[in-house]
Amino acid sequence: MSALSVRDLRREDIPLIDAYWSSLTSEDLERMFIDPKKLSADADFRNRLSKLIDTPLLDRAADPLIWECDGKAVGFTNLNNIQRGFEADIHLHLFEGSVRAKGLGRRLFAKSVQKYFERHDLKRIVCQPASTNSAPNGLMKALGVPVARTHQTIPSAICFEHEVNRYEITKTWVTEICRLHELPMTQQKSI
C-alpha cells in the first residue's frame, strides 16, 4: 500500500501548482467551468503563493495543502472563504495522472478535511464541483457524502456561473469516514 501524507505548501511546490494550472487543456477548463481570462499571470500567481506561505496561518485568506504519495507531491487541496468557527470552501486537484482512479484521492481528501477542521475549528466544509465533473462527484459519492443541493452559482473567483453539486462535510462525517477507511484520527488541538 502507498504511503500517503498531507502537508503544508512549501516554496518548492509552487512550480508544481503553477505547472498544473498552466497545463490544463481547453477541455479541462471547460469541465471545471474555469474562465481562462481569470487565471492569474504566472508571476502574479507565484508571488501570491509565496506571500501566502509567509503569512501566519490564522491570517491567511486560503490554506493550501499538498497531497503526497510515497513522498512525491501528487495533488493539493485549498481551503478558502474561511470563516473560522463556522465554514469554509474546499477545492481539490489531483495533478499526477498515475495515481488517479486508485482510491488514493479519497484517503488524501479525508486527511485534508480532518486537518482543516482541526486548524480552523470549522462546523462544516463546503465542496461545490460542477455537477457534470465526474471525478470530484465520484469521490464524494465514494466517501458517502450526500449532495446537499444542486444549484447555479459561481463557486470560485476563476469560474463561470454553472450548475454545481453542493456537499456539506461535517466534523462528524470526518470521524466516521476515518473510521471506515481506517485512517488514524489526529490528536492535535485547534490553532
**Cell representation of residue 129:** 464541483
* Phi–psi pair at 5, nearest 5 degrees: -150, 160
| Residue 147 banded pLDDT, cuts 50, 70, 90 | very high
Q: Write the DSSP assignment of 77-128 as a string of letters.
A: EEEEEEETTTEEEEEEEE--GGGTTSSHHHHHHHHHHHHHHHHHT-SEEEE-
Q: Does residue 49 register a pLDDT over 70?
A: yes
Those residues whose C-beta lies under 8 Å from the C-beta of residue 51, and which sit 6 or more positions away, are: none
pLDDT score, position 35? 84
pLDDT score, position 181? 58
Of 81-95, 110-124, 142-156, 175-189, the range with the lowest mean pLDDT is 175-189
**Domains along the chain with CATH numbers:** 4-180 (3.40.630.30)
Q: What percent of the chain has pLDDT over 70?
A: 88
pLDDT score, position 46? 80
